[in-house]
Amino acid sequence: LPAGLSQWFPALEVLDVSGTGLAELGEELLALPRLHTLLAKNNRLGGPGSLPKALGQAPLGRSLRVLNLSGNRFAELPPALLGLRGLQSLSLGGNRLHGIPPDIQELRSLEFLYLGGNFITSIPPELANLPSLSSLVLCDNKIQSIPPQLAQLHSLRSLSLHNNLLTYLPREILNLVHLEELSLRGNPLVVRFVRDLTYNPPSLQELAGRTIKTRNVPYAPSDLPENLVRYLSLASNCPNPKCGGVYFDSCVRQIKFVDFCGKYRIPLMHYLCSPECSSPCSSASQSSTSQSESDSEDEASVAARRMQKVLLG
């Protein structure tokens, strides 16, 4: 960037330096107190010193609302960006990112996050700590699973996950009641899930915990070992309405096919307390489905179990 930029344009609010071959954005940026939109797409940014280290501490750190660094060479999210506490829109698509740092939760004002077209393999649960996030684009990556914590993104309206390596979605995704757009095309979804459907017998501690919970055995904290008392608070109820069981660490993982928007059937991970509960079952949220929908859901579940039996022997 040219020296003296802030002297020439002290009231500059929007700066577009896209496609100019820039390899770094200099310190001149830090003296632009009114700049709220910075577009630097399709450059050569990404090496050491590409961004000013004091980016988050300068006046710019408070004024900047939109930052687009797509089409550059960043292999990781620049730490300097994490100080932009007022940032509402961040685009880093088409870079070389292999991950998302947990510290991204520091960008509490973020509403739009575009990370498509990278090499990201996993999503940190801390991403769920962005209370204003309404649009999340993670398409064209190598993501294999979605953390259930993303269901805490109550402001989320659009979620783009197409062209990844997803074999299932966590059941908690149904809690995103305000979601208007969900893009899943180009994912394996059900193709490879069967190889992970194994069941490990419960430990003695889990058996003890299950017995106490299912039989409502009365106890005082002084009656049991301290670790068992803590363990009992971690019990999860079996979602099968015909089963009163609980589970802790050991459970049966099953794919549950659920209607989405009345058009698509998507596989959600379903946790059951034992193999005896592996027959098709419905949750309260699906009890209003028609008989034909229930029959087709049962058929899909039966087909999935048959596939599991064939491939797992």
Q: Is 42 exposed, middle or buried (0-12, 13-18, 19+ CB in 10 A)?
A: middle
pLDDT digits (tens, 9 = 90+) for 218-250: 988 888 888 888 899 889 888 888 888 898 888
**DSSP for residue 286:** G
More reliable by pLDDT, 80 or 196: 80
Question: Per-residue pLDDT tens for 85-135?
Answer: 899 999 999 999 999 999 999 999 999 999 999 999 999 999 999 999 999
Q: How far apart are CA 151 and CA 127, in angstroms?
A: 11
Taking residues 36-40, report their average pLDDT: 94
- Give the span between the Cα atoms of 243 and 162, in whole angstroms: 36
Which whole number is the average pLDDT over 6-35?
83
CA distances for 15 relative to 29, 37, 211, 224, 228, angstroms:
10, 6, 65, 65, 59
Report the amino acid identity of residue 263.
K
> Could you give the domains of the chain?
5-194 (3.80.10.10)
Specify the pLDDT at position 120: 98
- Lowest-pLDDT range, 54-58, 183-187, 251-255? 251-255
Count of other CB atoms within 10 angstroms of residue 64: 25
Distance between CA atoms of residues 238 and 254, nearest Å: 12
